[in-house]
């Protein structure tokens, strides 16, 4: 899968490949849930009928992060994880990542069509939702695109899970409510976060529970609490108990942290990239009166984790 950033591709060869006419879909694809995956399969079928490569246009950051800076939506996945998962599907030939800023947001619909869809992406077929809006003041819509003489446009079908339309918003709601089973049904897989292990305060080690502190690249995670997890590391996959939140017993700041105590693991993961899969929610975060009370609760969390994840 070819990944192109901005409106300028890299080498001459990559530019030539990116200038091939394509079957295109547009969206943030945060989470790449089952609804997104159905779109990609549909796009591949339509592209194959027309002998076209598939292309996906996405934006970084999420548009709502620009317009709602004080209350942005929780990010479901990093750009890197999104690209990795899209590549793993085998359904997308190239991804174009455009930086979403006020300049892009202020483009008139006709300018967006000519500059982005025609000249940058060379779209010949476009698969989008019938509620898709684009351009300055969201003035462009499905009917605007359907009227184009040179780009074939089709509305994508919706996917329902448990009687509700699969969407990133529904996935955020499920994760925020700790409904990991619902989230897994929407995703077709357990929810996960990947990141690099960084140095922490070493408090867990002093308490007898050394943790892997994972750098969170987003301002607000989609879920909070204490969880039974599986963690993929360079040394293998381990069960673990993870805390995702602000650690109110020992911290006073506003930053969110992901800390994972890996069961039956010894070693050093600093600087390594790991993937944490959230299998079950154990409890909400709580503030304890003493470190002894916290340690007692961690012992209980570890015992429950072993029981839940025993294979």
pLDDT tens string 170-227: 999 999 999 999 999 999 999 999 999 998 766 656 655 678 899 887 778 999 999 9
Residue, of 294 and 24, whose pLDDT is higher: 24
Angstrom distance (rounded) from CA 227 to CA 230: 10
Domains annotated on the chain, with CATH: 2-165 (3.40.50.620), 190-309 (2.40.30.30)
Over range 61-84, report the average pLDDT.
Answer: 84
> How far from chain centre, in Å, is Cα 64?
15
Which letter, b or e, does each residue of 226-257 get, where b requires 16 or more Cβ atoms within 10 Å of its Cβ? bbbbbbebeeeebbbbbbbbbbebeeeeeeeb
pLDDT at 249 exceeding the cut of 80? no
Residue, of 115 and 73, whose pLDDT is higher: 115
The answer to whether the CB of 24 falls within 8 A of the CB of 55 is: yes
pLDDT at 7 exceeding the cut of 70? yes
Burial classification of residue 59, based on how many CB atoms lie within 10 Å of its CB (0-12 exposed, 13-18 middle, 19 or more buried):
buried
Angstrom distance (rounded) from CA 92 to CA 112: 22
Each residue of 90-104: pLDDT tens digit?
999 999 999 988 888
User: Residue 62: its pLDDT value, please?
Assistant: 79
């Amino acid at each position: 899968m070819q990944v192109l950033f901005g409106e300028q591709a890299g080498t001459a060869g990559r530019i030539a490949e990116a200038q091939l006419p394509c079957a295109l879909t547009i969206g943030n694809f945060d989470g790449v849930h089952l609804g997104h995956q159905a779109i990609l399969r549909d796009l591949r079928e339509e592209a194959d009928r027309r002998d076209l490569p598939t292309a996906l246009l996405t934006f970084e950051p999420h548009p709502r992060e620009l317009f709602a800076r004080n209350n942005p939506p929780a990010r479901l996945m990093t750009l890197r994880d999104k690209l990795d998962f899209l590549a793993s599907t085998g359904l997308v030939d190239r991804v174009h990542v455009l930086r979403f800023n006020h300049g892009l947001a202020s483009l008139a619909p006709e300018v967006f069509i000519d500059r982005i869809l025609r000249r940058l992406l060379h779209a010949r077929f476009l698969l989008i939702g019938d509620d898709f809006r684009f351009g300055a003041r969201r003035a462009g819509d499905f009917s605007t695109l359907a009227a184009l003489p040179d780009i074939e446009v089709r509305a994508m079908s919706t996917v329902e899970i448990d009687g509700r339309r699969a969407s990133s918003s529904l996935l955020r709601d499920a994760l925020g409510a700790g409904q990991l089973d619902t989230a897994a049904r929407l995703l077709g897989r357990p929810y996960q976060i990947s990141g690099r292990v960084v140095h922490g305060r070493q408090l867990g080690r002093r308490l007898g529970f050394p943790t892997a502190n994972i750098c969170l690249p987003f301002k607000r995670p989609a879920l909070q609490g204490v969880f039974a997890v599986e963690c993929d590391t360079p040394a293998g996959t381990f069960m673990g108990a993870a805390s995702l939140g602000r650690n109110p017993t020992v911290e006073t700041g506003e930053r969110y942290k992901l800390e994972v105590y890996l069961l039956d693991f010894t070693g050093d993961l600093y600087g390594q990239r790991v993937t944490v899969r959230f299998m079950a929610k154990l409890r909400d975060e709580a503030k304890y009166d003493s470190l002894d009370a916290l340690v007692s609760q961690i012992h209980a969390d570890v015992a429950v984790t072993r029981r839940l994840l025993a294979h």
